[in-house]
Structure formats: structure tokens, C-alpha cells
């Protein structure tokens, strides 16, 4: 005996579309269709009337489609001549999926989230039975989504990891190590099905294992977003997330196309969120239109829950009046140490480079641009329309060293020592140096004031007590007055950043 909850799956079907303006509801039309097709020995599946389209749709075996169209054209020749029937044609390569669901709306919501929109729908209300017709290019994906919803099977989430440097590599390892536990605890089956660098992309429909790096080395497909989109469609992959672990200005140009082709976005790449406000808003519109999500918690505080906190406060109507802090793990390490040790400024920078806290060219950090980008991202979370050029940035590099080659700059680091020793010694007693980002002014207006600069603060203050490479963020609000919400912790490092990206992946997965 068949299980009532069993999913019916019929491939190789065709829809015969029968369209006209005035015949809907006319007695005998259905009977004539059945009779003509029965005489032609054609088995009919679903008959569905679409009042909006002024038409009737009939389901037949695909190899009967041509014969069925010819048969109905003959049967309704007078109506075709009079214009009552406008056209009769077939849509081939479709599949039927039948299932029983108490809440079919939830199933349809999941299908829509994955860009699956049934061509035909037949609902037997009393039995909670639903028959849907989809293109054969989406039938396996549709079946997987329905099975996951009805039988509460683990939901498969397909990940495409772009960039496998320090953060990307660590993230892949974290996903592989945690996948069994996440499957058991959260009923989510995470599969890394694509890994790309700037030159090539590797695919594995079943999901990569610990030998993923070997498969990337031997991959032959060029690193191209269209390759990824084609792969996802050809293999009918549902619940797609692309994870951008690059710092690429070029890759972010693909965010729109990815969102339009069914991918949610998770990114540690700060570039997109600091593009001109018009581009920023355009992506939000694309995401909203396509019911896609874009999470980027690690854009500012690595693994710290900063952006999420600000979003929640802002959405709840809390008036945020100022955000201030040490945004850079590398500059945190440099000034935390330089302020309390007798070593030269250049020595401390060298240490930070050796520990991997700075970019390969430390001017990326010392220029203040990284802190400025982070500050701008927070400003835009408050719906401010500031642009990058609005930010007042104190560049820590002397003008004569801005344009020299990286290696020459590193060899001349000691030229910074005298200036910074002087700054350090000119402080008030008990004060220390901190490089801070400060968003202030009237944040209820269109633009706030954004400053990125080196300041001297009391060693006993929250900023002054910072240690190691930690970051600290002070969020001032109307309700909390002079007592800010303080978020402090590790603000740099591949492990911390990858863990933050992983958290975003899980949040997107749980809401799919």
C-alpha cells in the first residue's frame, strides 16, 4: 500500500495550452477536449482552468504532445476560425510533483526563495494534496525542497567560497570540521560545492572533503561568475550562498547577478558597502526584489557582533548619537604596544608585520583607509548617505613615503621614529595613543561627521585599557546617555574572521 505522504514524481510530461477569449465557463468544452484526446488514445493528466489567462491547460505524456495539439486543432477548427479559440500549443520538458502538505504555503515560500515558480498548480483542498508542474530543469531541485519541508529532512545548503587565502582556507576547514554536528543539531547539511580564486574555480556537486585544495589545483574552469551560475542551474542546486572572502574590487561587481540568480551573499569583503551610495542602494533594491539576503558582520568587527547590534538598535527606533572606537586590530596592536614600551615605532610595526596583523604592505593599515571604510559602513547602517570622500582621515605616513615601492617603504620605516616619539612624549601624563574612528554630529540628518585620527586618551579610560590587537567600539544612544554600550574583543585574525563569516552563513541558512 502506498504511503499517503509519498511524493509523486512524474517526468517527461508536456502542458497543452488552450487559449481563447470567450469560451471560459462554456458548457461542454472540457468534455470535447477529453473526448477528442481519448479517441486519439492520448492519456490526460491534470486539467486546469486559468481565468486570468482565459485558458485551459492539459497535461499529457511528452511523446503525445505533438499529436495532442494536432488533435485539438482539428476538434476546434470552427472556434479557431471565428477567433473564439486563439491558440493551441505545447510546453515540453515539464515534470509533475504531487505531495500532501498541511501547510502548502510554507512549501511554496521555500520554492519561491529558490526561484521555483510552478507552471501549473492543482490543489485538492479536502485531502491537502497538491500537484505542481515545473520545468524539467528545476524538477530535482523542487523535489529536494519539498522533501526537506514535508519530511523534515536536513536542508541542504550549497556554498560557493570565493577566495581561499587565510580567511577562506580557515573557513572551509571550519565548515568541514563542523558539518556533522550542524547537520545533527540544526538539521542543515552544509556542502561546499565551489571554491574559486582569481584564476580558476573548482566544482564538486557532492561537496568537497578534506582534499579540496588538491581539486582546486587541478581545476580547469576559469574563475568566472557565469560558470558558477551555470553550474548551479545545470545541477539544480537549491539554497545557494556565495561567500566572498576576497578584497577584490572586481568581484563585488558580480553581487547583482548572483542575487538575481538565486544566491544569498555573505561577505568579509568591505568594498561593496563603501561604493558610492547609489550603487549601495541599487544592490539593496536587487536583494529585496529577489528575496535574497546579504550579511557582512565581519566587515567591521571581525567576529564581534557589532553590525548586528547597531542594526537592532536602529530598527527598534533607538536614537544612536555617536559611534567611536579602535576599529583596526593591526593599529590597535601597534599603538597599544608603542604607548607603554620603550621600543621604536618602526620596531613595533615590524613586530605587527611578523605576527601577520598588518597587510603585506603596512601602508594599507597606516593610511587609515581601512578604518575609514569600516566607519563608513557603520554610518550607512544608520541610513546616512555619507561618501568615502566625506571622511576626515589622518594618514600616518609622511608624504615622501606614500608612493615609493613597498620594499623601499619597509626598509625606510625608521624614518617614522622621530616624529612618533615626539608625539608620544608630548602627551599629558598617564595618557596613551590610540588610532580611532569617530562617527558623530547630528546623526538624524542625512550625513554625519566621520573622523579617523590619532588621539591621546587617559590610560584609565576604556580606550586606554585596550590590550593586544583587540578592537573596541563605544555606541552612544539617547536612552543610555553618557554610558555607551561597549563591545570589545579580538578584532583581527583569520580564525576570528572566518568564525564570524561562518556565523553569517548559519544565519542565512536558518532563515532559508
Give the SS3 label for residue 328.
coil
Q: 104-113 and 139-150 helices cross at what angle (nearest 10)? A: 140
> Do the Cβ atoms of 94 and 131 come closer than 8 Å?
no
Q: Is 501 helix (H, G, I), strand (E, B) or coil?
A: helix
User: If you search the block for the grid coordinates 566572498, which residue do you land on?
Assistant: 244
Q: In the block, which residue shows the cell 507552471?
A: 119
What residues pair up with 485 in beta bridges, in sequence order? 475
Closest-CA residue to 392 (of 449, 445, 327, 313)? 449
d(CA 172, CA 167): 9
The whole-angstrom separation of Cα 413 and Cα 256 is 42
In contact, 285 and 503? CB cutoff 8 Å: no
Query: How far apart (Å, rounded) are the C-alpha atoms in residues 71 and 58?
Result: 13
φ, ψ dihedrals at 130, nearest 5°: -125, 135
Number of H helices and number of E strands within the chain? 19, 19
Which residues lie across from 200 on neighbouring strands? Answer: 222
Angle of CA points 181, 183, 189, to nearest 5°: 135
Residues that are catalytic:
374
Report the candidate in 233, 111, 230, 155 with the shortest Cα–Cα distance to residue 505.
Answer: 155
Spatial distance between the Cα atoms of 250 and 248, rounded to a whole number of angstroms: 5
Cβ proximity of 299 and 491 under 8 Å:
no
User: What is the C-alpha separation between 196 and 168, in angstroms, rounded?
Assistant: 10
Amino acid at each position: 500500500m502506498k504511503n499517503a505522504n509519498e511524493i509523486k514524481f512524474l517526468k517527461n510530461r508536456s502542458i497543452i495550452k488552450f487559449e481563447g477569449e470567450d469560451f471560459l465557463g462554456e458548457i461542454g468544452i472540457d468534455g470535447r477536449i477529453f473526448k477528442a484526446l481519448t479517441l486519439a488514445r492520448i492519456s490526460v493528466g491534470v486539467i486546469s482552468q486559468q481565468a486570468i489567462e482565459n485558458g485551459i491547460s492539459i497535461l499529457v505524456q511528452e511523446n503525445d504532445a505533438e499529436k495532442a495539439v494536432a488533435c485539438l486543432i482539428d476538434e476546434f477548427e470552427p472556434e479557431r476560425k471565428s477567433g473564439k479559440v486563439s491558440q493551441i500549443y505545447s510546453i515540453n520538458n515539464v515534470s509533475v510533483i504531487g505531495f500532501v502538505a498541511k501547510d502548502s504555503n510554507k512549501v511554496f515560500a521555500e520554492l519561491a526563495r529558490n526561484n521555483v515558480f510552478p507552471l501549473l498548480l492543482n490543489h485538492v483542498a479536502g485531502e491537502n494534496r497538491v500537484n505542481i508542474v515545473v520545468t524539467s530543469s528545476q524538477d530535482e531541485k523542487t523535489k529536494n525542497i519539498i522533501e526537506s519541508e514535508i519530511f523534515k529532512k536536513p536542508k541542504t545548503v550549497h556554498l560557493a567560497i570565493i577566495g581561499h587565502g587565510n580567511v577562506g582556507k580557515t573557513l572551509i576547514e571550519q565548515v568541514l570540521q563542523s558539518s556533522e554536528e550542524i547537520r545533527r543539531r540544526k538539521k542543515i547539511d552544509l556542502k561546499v560545492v565551489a571554491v574559486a580564486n582569481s584564476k580558476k574555480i573548482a566544482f564538486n556537486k557532492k561537496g568537497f572533503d578534506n582534499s579540496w585544495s588538491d581539486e582546486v589545483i587541478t581545476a580547469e574552469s576559469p574563475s568566472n561568475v557565469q560558470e558558477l551560475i551555470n553550474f548551479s542551474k545545470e545541477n539544480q542546486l537549491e539554497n545557494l550562498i556565495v561567500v566572498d572572502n576576497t578584497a577584490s574590487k572586481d568581484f563585488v561587481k558580480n553581487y547583482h547577478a548572483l542575487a538575481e540568480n538565486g544566491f544569498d551573499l555573505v561577505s568579509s569583503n568591505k568594498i561593496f558597502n563603501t561604493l558610492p551610495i547609489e550603487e549601495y542602494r541599487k544592490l539593496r533594491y536587487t536583494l529585496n526584489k529577489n528575496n535574497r539576503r546579504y550579511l557582512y558582520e565581519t566587515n567591521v568587527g571581525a567576529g564581534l557582533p557589532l553590525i548586528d547590534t547597531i542594526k537592532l538598535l536602529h530598527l527598534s527606533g533607538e536614537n544612536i548619537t555617536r559611534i567611536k572606537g579602535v576599529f583596526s586590530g593591526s593599529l590597535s596592536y601597534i599603538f597599544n604596544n608603542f604607548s607603554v614600551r620603550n621600543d621604536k615605532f618602526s620596531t613595533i610595526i615590524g613586530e605587527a608585520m611578523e605576527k601577520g596583523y598588518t597587510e603585506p604592505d603596512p601602508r594599507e593599515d597606516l593610511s587609515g583607509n581601512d578604518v575609514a571604510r569600516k566607519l563608513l559602513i557603520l554610518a550607512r547602517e544608520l541610513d546616512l548617505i555619507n561618501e568615502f570622500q566625506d571622511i576626515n582621515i589622518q594618514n600616518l605616513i609622511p608624504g615622501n613615503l606614500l608612493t615609493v615601492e613597498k620594499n623601499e617603504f619597509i626598509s625606510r620605516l625608521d624614518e617614522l621614529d622621530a616624529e612618533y616619539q615626539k608625539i608620544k612624549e608630548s602627551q599629558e601624563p598617564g595618557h596613551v595613543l590610540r588610532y580611532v574612528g569617530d562617527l558623530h554630529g547630528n546623526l538624524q540628518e542625512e550625513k554625519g561627521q566621520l573622523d579617523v585620527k590619532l588621539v591621546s586618551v587617559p590610560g584609565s579610560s576604556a580606550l586606554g585599557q585596550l590590550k593586544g590587537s583587540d578592537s573596541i567600539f563605544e555606541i552612544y544612544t539617547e536612552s543610555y546617555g553618557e554610558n555607551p554600550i561597549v563591545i570589545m574583543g579580538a578584532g583581527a585574525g583569520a580564525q576570528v574572521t572566518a568564525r564570524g563569516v561562518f556565523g553569517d552563513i548559519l544565519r542565512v541558512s536558518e532563515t532559508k
